[in-house]
């Protein structure tokens, strides 16, 4: 067992709210499962040793926080700082058809909805998902009414500034034929540990445009997940962008629970120094006529390591599924590592599937050619190697996010050293 | 302009240049000929700063600056240009974007404003016509799918656009038919200027029919062993390198 997990379980036993029965289940699972074995498939390339014996110092909440901004986005911001919700939901003016409740003080009718959705989409295989189940006292429940198109994006900001643990949760329920844009925006660089999990139910013919930015660096550890359940003809367009830190892991589950659902998922990761980022995605095609397009691309510099595990599971009934999964990586140094594993598991006989993974290195001759024409090294590297990342950014739907993201990523890339 | 003094250089621990001396004044055209393996291309790479080419001894001054204190891109933006023997194909970067970036990097170095996309397009179109390449070559990936001759003309187009003070042409004539050879030679001649110098590395005399050199040097075994005027190239063409001594007997030009 781990000192840190023992503390988690002790703390969780003291949490008494309307989610207690579910928290109790999570605690039992944690007690039975224990700490993951270092060679378990889930954590094979992602060492958890920095977390195992972690001791958390209690630190007071800051008076002021620097909230990351996305110019022009005009989103409704729900802000969590070091695991505590700073936003007063009563002060928000929400568009008609959109409701947001706090888990910490939900009225009884919302409690019933939260209980119904909690843990419904997120699989229970994940130890940190269970930790979050047991400890997330702060979080939100979001509901979009049937037939409502919400134009204003909703941004859930998670910033870690202290040496503390933070566990937050988001539950989002899109009614039939509704539309919503959600941005999960996380960042931190101090010696914090954040678990942030989000569960989405996308109703029949509803559309979710989703973004998750995991800009945790340095000693800021984070483990989180975004999990989606798609009903009949639901649409999901999701973009993940991540840096790496001492420990950074995201799990994505997309479940085609209804027929004719469409899911597009993009992931971008740029890792420098000794950073680690681990992305596990699982696409479950449980019903027929579903489509999934998954594209993950990363650049790994210096001594950094990326782990990509992408699984598409096509159940026996999921006939006429179209599924594509592609993972491309560029290594900037001899010491950079990528462990990539695209997986297809198909039990239906009438499906179209493709998957692939590639790894490339900087081409010395091409770089020399550009330099010999006076182009600065940083610019030349961007021209030669950033293109395949830029391609994904250019495909981002939201204009403001695209405009904000491109210079951010190209600057990070330009500062990554090639060795 | 350029002063090479006792230059020794190696590639993968093999010594190639063994005490090369050469001085080039503004406006001069120097041809360098020599048998295979003499170090002609190595000289171009060492001057431009390619990784893996190590200078062991000697020094080079370019416009009174120590060349070896400068990065590859600094040498280029300060006016040193190498036309490659084998230009590199780069898919995914357009010829246009590539040349605009390089022209603007040079302009920045000279303290000039960068050219706008429209201004650059106009200049690029003219240069493209001058080397007789179709305009759609500007939109294609850098050298991507170009024939040997098209690649060489693309190099000359870059030279015209960048307006360097020292142009090193590494076998820009190899693999060209007579028409293409004339296009390359005309491109070079159009750029001749009292302030601009050329080093023309070649195996054959025929390019020198079109570009009149002020000096012809024979590079053999890492050193310049003979210097003369244009007639030296004709002599090589006729007699091979036998006159250099026993070890070069039978080596044809």
Side-chain-side CA neighbours of residue B99 (13 Å): 30
CB contact under 8 Å between A372 and B49, yes or no, is: yes
Q: A364 or A313: which carries more pLDDT confidence?
A: A313
User: Chain A contacts of B84, Cβ < 8 Å?
Assistant: 369, 372
Q: Is B92 on the interface with A (CB under 8 A)?
A: yes
**Closest of B93, B160, B147, B230 to residue A381, by C-alpha:** B93
Average confidence (pLDDT) over A86-109: 94
Q: A359 or A150: which carries more pLDDT confidence?
A: A150
pLDDT score, position A60: 61
pLDDT score, position A132: 96
CB contact under 8 Å between A368 and B109, yes or no, is: no
Q: Which residue has the tokens 């207690």?
A: A20
Alpha-carbon distance B226 to nearest alpha carbon in chain A (angstroms)? 30
CB contact under 8 Å between A374 and B92, yes or no, is: no
Could you tell me the two tokens for A185?
A: 């925006």
User: Chain A contacts of B97, Cβ < 8 Å?
Assistant: 383
Cα separations (Å) of A148 from A96, A235, A238, B2?
A: 8, 15, 20, 73
Alpha-carbon distance A117 to nearest alpha carbon in chain B (angstroms)? 46
pLDDT score, position A110: 93
- Asked if pLDDT for residue A417 goes beyond 80, the answer is no
Per domain, the residue ranges of chain B are 2-248
Residues in Cβ contact with B21 at an 8 Å cutoff, skipping those fewer than 6 apart: B4, B5, B6, B7, B224
- Asked if pLDDT for residue A138 goes beyond 80, the answer is yes
Q: Is B93 on the interface with A (CB under 8 A)?
A: yes
Could you tell me the two tokens for B107?
A: 């302009």
Give the integer Cα–Cα distance in Å for A364 and A378: 14
Q: Is B105 on the interface with A (CB under 8 A)?
A: yes
CB contact under 8 Å between B105 and A371, yes or no, is: no
Alpha-carbon distance B50 to nearest alpha carbon in chain A (angstroms)? 7
Q: Is B76 on the interface with A (CB under 8 A)?
A: yes
User: Chain A contacts of B51, Cβ < 8 Å?
Assistant: 364, 368
Residue of B nearest to A365 (CA): B88
- Under a CB-based contact definition with an 8 Å cutoff, are residues A266 and A236 in contact? no
- Asked if pLDDT for residue A418 goes beyond 70, the answer is no
Exposure class string for A227-246: b at 16+ Cβ within 10 A, else e: bbbbbbbbbbbbbbbbbbbb
Q: Is A414 on the interface with B (CB under 8 A)?
A: no
Q: Report CA dihedral (A69, A71, A72, A75) to the nearest 10 degrees.
A: -10
Alpha-carbon distance B214 to nearest alpha carbon in chain A (angstroms)? 26
CB contact under 8 Å between B106 and A374, yes or no, is: yes
Alpha-carbon distance A277 to nearest alpha carbon in chain B (angstroms)? 27
Q: What is the largest CA-CA distance in chain B?
A: 59
Alpha-carbon distance B76 to nearest alpha carbon in chain A (angstroms)? 5
User: Chain B contacts of A380, Cβ < 8 Å?
Assistant: 73
Q: Is A366 on the interface with B (CB under 8 A)?
A: yes
Q: B41 or A415: which carries more pLDDT confidence?
A: B41
CB pairs under 8 A between A and B: 69
Q: Is B95 on the interface with A (CB under 8 A)?
A: no
Of A10-24, A278-292, A404-418, B52-66, the one with minimum mean pLDDT is: A404-418
CB contact under 8 Å between A370 and B50, yes or no, is: no
The parts of chain B modelled with pLDDT lower than 50 are 253
Q: Which residue has the tokens 């004044």?
A: B25
Give the integer Cα–Cα distance in Å for A264 and B33: 60
Instruction: Provide DSSP, chain B.
Output: -EEEEEEEEEETTEEEEEEEEEEE-TT-EEEEE--TTSSHHHHHHHHHT-TTEEEEEEEEEETTEEGGGS-HHHHHHTTEEEE-SSPPPEEEEEHHHHHHHHHHHHHHHTTPPPPPHHHHHHHHHHHHHHTT--GGGGTSEETTT--HHHHHHHHHHHHHHH--SEEEEESTTTT--HHHHHHHHHHHHHT-BTTBEEEEE-S-SHHHHHS--SEEEEEETTEEEEEE-HHHHHHHHHHTTGGG-GGGTT---
User: Chain A contacts of B91, Cβ < 8 Å?
Assistant: none
pTM over 0.90: no
Give the model's confidence band at A264: pLDDT under 50 very low, under 70 low, under 90 confident, else very high: very high
pLDDT score, position B126: 95
Of A131-140, A385-394, B62-71, the one with minimum mean pLDDT is: A385-394
pLDDT score, position B205: 87
Give the integer Cα–Cα distance in Å for A117 and A120: 5
* Interface mutation target, options B83, B88, B103, chain A, most CBs of A under 10 Å: B88
| Three-class SS state of A92 | coil
Give the model's confidence band at A59: pLDDT under 50 very low, under 70 low, under 90 confident, else very high: low
Average pLDDT score, chain A: 93
**B 19-48: CB under 8 A from A:** 48
Q: Of all helices (H) and strands (E), which one includes residue A171?
A: strand A165-174
Strands A248-256 and A337-346: unpaired
Strands A76-81 and A179-188: unpaired
Give the integer Cα–Cα distance in Å for A373 and B160: 12
Q: Which fold has domain B2-248?
A: Rossmann fold (3.40.50)
Nearest by CB: B73 against A364, A365, A374: A374
- Under a CB-based contact definition with an 8 Å cutoff, are residues B19 and B222 in contact? yes
Would you give the DSSP letter of residue A391?
H
Q: Is B200 on the interface with A (CB under 8 A)?
A: no
- Under a CB-based contact definition with an 8 Å cutoff, are residues A294 and A321 in contact? no
Nearest by CB: B93 against A365, A371, A383: A383
Give B109-114 contacts, CB < 8 A, sequence gap 24+: B109/A374, B109/B74, B109/B77, B109/B78
- Asked if pLDDT for residue A373 goes beyond 90, the answer is yes
Nearest by CB: B105 against A375, A384, A387: A375
* Interface mutation target, options A330, A371, A377, A383, chain B, most CBs of B under 10 Å: A371
Instruction: Provide DSSP, A299-366.
Output: EE-TT-EEEEEEEEEE-TT-TT-EEEEEEEEEE-STT-EEEEEEEEEE--SS-EEEEEEEEEE--HHH
Nearest by CB: B102 against A373, A377, A388: A373
User: Chain A contacts of B50, Cβ < 8 Å?
Assistant: 368, 372
Residue of A nearest to B45 (CA): A372
Nearest by CB: B90 against A364, A371, A384: A384
Q: Is A419 on the interface with B (CB under 8 A)?
A: no
Give the integer Cα–Cα distance in Å for A346 and A318: 9
Q: Of all helices (H) and strands (E), which one includes residue A263?
A: strand A262-271
- Asked if pLDDT for residue A211 goes beyond 90, the answer is yes
CB contact under 8 Å between A383 and B88, yes or no, is: no
Alpha-carbon distance A384 to nearest alpha carbon in chain B (angstroms)? 7
pLDDT score, position B252: 52
User: Chain A contacts of B127, Cβ < 8 Å?
Assistant: none
- Under a CB-based contact definition with an 8 Å cutoff, are residues A286 and A317 in contact? yes
Instruction: Provide DSSP, B4-63.
Output: EEEEEEEETTEEEEEEEEEEE-TT-EEEEE--TTSSHHHHHHHHHT-TTEEEEEEEEEET
pLDDT score, position A62: 66
């Amino acid at each position: 067992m781990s000192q840190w997990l023992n503390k988690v379980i002790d703390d969780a036993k003291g949490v008494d709210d309307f989610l207690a029965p579910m928290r109790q289940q999570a605690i039992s699972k944690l007690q039975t499962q224990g700490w993951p074995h270092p060679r378990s498939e889930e954590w094979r390339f992602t060492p958890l040793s920095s977390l195992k014996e972690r001791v958390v110092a209690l630190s007071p909440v800051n008076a002021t926080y620097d909230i990351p901004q996305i110019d022009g986005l005009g989103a409704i911001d729900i802000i969590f700082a070091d695991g505590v919700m700073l936003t007063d939901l009563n002060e928000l003016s929400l568009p008609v058809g959109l409701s947001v409740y706090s888990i910490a003080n939900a009225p009884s009718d919302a409690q019933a909805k939260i209980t119904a959705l909690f843990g419904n989409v997120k699989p229970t295989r994940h130890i940190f998902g269970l930790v979050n189940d047991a400890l997330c006292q702060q979080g939100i429940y979001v509901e979009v009414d049937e037939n409502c198109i919400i134009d204003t994006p909703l941004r859930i900001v998670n910033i870690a500034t202290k040496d503390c643990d933070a566990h937050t949760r988001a539950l989002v329920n899109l009614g039939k034929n509704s539309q919503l844009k959600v941005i999960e925006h996380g960042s931190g660089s101090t010696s914090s540990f954040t678990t942030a999990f989000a569960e989405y139910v996308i109703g029949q013919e509803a559309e979710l445009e989703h973004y998750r930015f995991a800009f945790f660096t340095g000693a800021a550890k984070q483990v989180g997940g975004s999990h989606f359940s798609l009903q009949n003809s639901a649409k999901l367009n999701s973009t993940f962008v991540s840096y790496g830190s001492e420990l950074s892991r995201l799990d994505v589950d997309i479940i085609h629970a209804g027929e004719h659902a469409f899911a597009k998922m993009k992931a971008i990761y740029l890792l420098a120094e000794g950073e680690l980022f681990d992305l596990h995605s699982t696409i479950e095609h449980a019903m027929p006529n579903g489509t999934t397009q998954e594209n993950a691309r990363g650049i790994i510099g210096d001594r950094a390591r990326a782990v990509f595990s992408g699984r598409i599971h096509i159940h026996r009934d999921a006939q006429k599924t179209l599924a594509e999964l592609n993972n491309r990586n560029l290594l900037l140094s001899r010491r950079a590592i990528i462990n990539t594993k695209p997986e297809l598991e198909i039990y239906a006989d009438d499906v179209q599937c493709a998957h692939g993974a590639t790894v490339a290195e900087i081409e010395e001759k091409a770089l020399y050619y550009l330099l010999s024409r006076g182009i600065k090294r940083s610019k030349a590297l961007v021209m030669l190697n950033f293109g395949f990342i830029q391609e994904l950014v250019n495909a981002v739907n939201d204009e403001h996010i695209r405009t904000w993201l491109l210079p951010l990523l190209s600057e990070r890339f330009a500062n990554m050293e090639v060795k | 302009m350029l002063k090479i003094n006792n230059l020794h250089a190696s590639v993968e621990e093999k010594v190639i240049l063994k005490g090369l001396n050469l001085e080039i004044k503004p406006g001069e055209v120097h041809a360098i000929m020599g048998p295979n393996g003499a170090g002609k291309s190595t000289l171009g790479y060492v001057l431009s700063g390619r990784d893996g080419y190590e200078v062991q001894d000697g020094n080079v001054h370019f416009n009174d600056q120590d060349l070896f204190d400068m990065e590859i891109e600094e040498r280029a933006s300060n006016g040193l240009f190498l036309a490659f023997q084998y230009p590199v194909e780069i898919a995914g970067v357009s010829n246009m974007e590539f040349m605009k970036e390089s022209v603007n990097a040079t302009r920045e170095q000279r303290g000039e404003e960068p050219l706008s996309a429209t201004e650059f397009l106009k200049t690029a179109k003219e240069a493209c016509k001058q080397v007789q390449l179709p305009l759609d070559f500007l939109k294609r990936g850098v050298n991507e799918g170009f024939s040997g001759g098209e690649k060489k003309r693309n190099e000359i187009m870059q030279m015209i656009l960048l307006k360097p003070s020292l142009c090193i042409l590494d076998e820009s004539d190899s693999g060209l038919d007579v028409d293409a050879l004339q296009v390359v030679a005309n491109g070079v001649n159009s750029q001749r200027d009292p302030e601009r110098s050329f080093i023309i590395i070649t195996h054959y005399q025929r390019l020198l029919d079109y570009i009149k050199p002020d000096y012809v040097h024979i590079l053999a075994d890492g050193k310049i062993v003979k210097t003369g005027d244009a007639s030296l190239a004709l002599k090589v063409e006729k007699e091979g390198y036998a006159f250099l001594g026993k070890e070069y007997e039978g080596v044809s030009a």
